Amino acid sequence: MDQCLHIPEILRAICDETTKKTALAVALTSRHFLQPGLDRIWREVDCFEAIIACLPTDLWEVEESGGYLEPKLHFLRRPITSSDMERYKTHYAPRIRYFALKMVEGSALFGLDAFQGIQLATQWQPGALAPLLKQLAWPYSFTDTNSSLRAEDYFQETFPLCIPFPRKHRDRTGCHTGVRLSPTSRLCPLSHGTSPKTQNTISDQFATRGAIGQRWVFPLEDGWFG
């Protein structure tokens, strides 16, 4: 049995069949299970709480937005530095394969300034929050119509930090060139130093393909970007 604990494929297969709670328990119990256990825990992420928990607590000023579900917005108290992001980027971000945001009462969300701060701290690295992501799912709406926090606007800030764009969709600085959700959506300045004239858009197909129920779903399979 002890010899089996030295075979990564077996350890990974065991963890893949467990719940996140069980994977955490075995990861904390045995050093052999630490890495495959963390892979299982972080493979599927459905909230921002776990990411926020990996960053320094002194970064945040937390406010309740009010309205539907009353999400807790985490605004920056100070600038984010590259060292603030190092632990998360090194140990956790590469493990994420599926990010499907689910909104429940009191969900923790980044304030929009936090997304901009993360882009600065990571030097506009494409997919900094999830460089090996395979699928991104996003709710059509997570606030009431009177709220200033709109799902599509929030998505525009999240998108470049979750999607590792191929080189063909970056500008000459190496950054994203732009994305739109529908023909009527505004372009979001996803990169540093680009003007509206130099911004391009990903195909409308990218924004609509895989729409399921009340979510946008973006499968990032091979050849997706054409």
| 162, 71: one domain | yes
pLDDT-derived band at 165 (thresholds 50, 70, 90) equals low
Give the tens place of pLDDT for each residue, 40-88: 889 999 989 999 999 999 999 998 766 556 788 899 999 999 999 999 9
* Same-domain status, 141 and 82: yes
Counted residue by residue, the chain has a size of: 226
pLDDT range class, residue 204, cuts 50, 70, 90: very low
Report d(CA 208, CA 213) in Å as an integer: 12
CA distances to 21, 47, 93, 149, 210 from 128, rounded to whole Å, are: 26, 16, 8, 23, 24
Could you tell me if 51 and 36 lie in one domain? no
For residue 15, the enclosing domain spans 1-42
The answer on pLDDT for 5 being more than 50 is: yes
Of 110, 46, 47, nearest to 80 by C-alpha is 110
User: How many Cβ atoms from other residues are within 10 Å of residue 126's Cβ?
Assistant: 21
Rounded to whole angstroms, the Cα distance separating 5 from 208 reads 44
Q: HSE on the CB side for 54, CA within 13 Å?
A: 16
Q: Is residue 186 in a domain?
A: no
Query: What pLDDT, in 10s, does the model give residues 116-132?
Result: 899 999 998 888 999 99
Q: Same domain, yes or no, for 1 and 28? A: yes
Q: What is the pLDDT of residue 59?
A: 96
Asked, for residue 145, whether it belongs to a domain, the answer is yes
- Residue 146 CB burial class (10 angstroms; 0-12, 13-18, ≥19): exposed
Helix/strand/coil for 76: strand
* Residues 150 and 58 placed together within one structural domain of the fold: yes
pLDDT at 170: 45
Max Cα–Cα distance, the chain, nearest Å: 63
Is this prediction's pTM over 0.85?
A: no
The count of domains in the chain is 2
Q: Domain for residue 179, yes or no? A: no
Do 65 and 153 lie in one domain? The reply is: yes
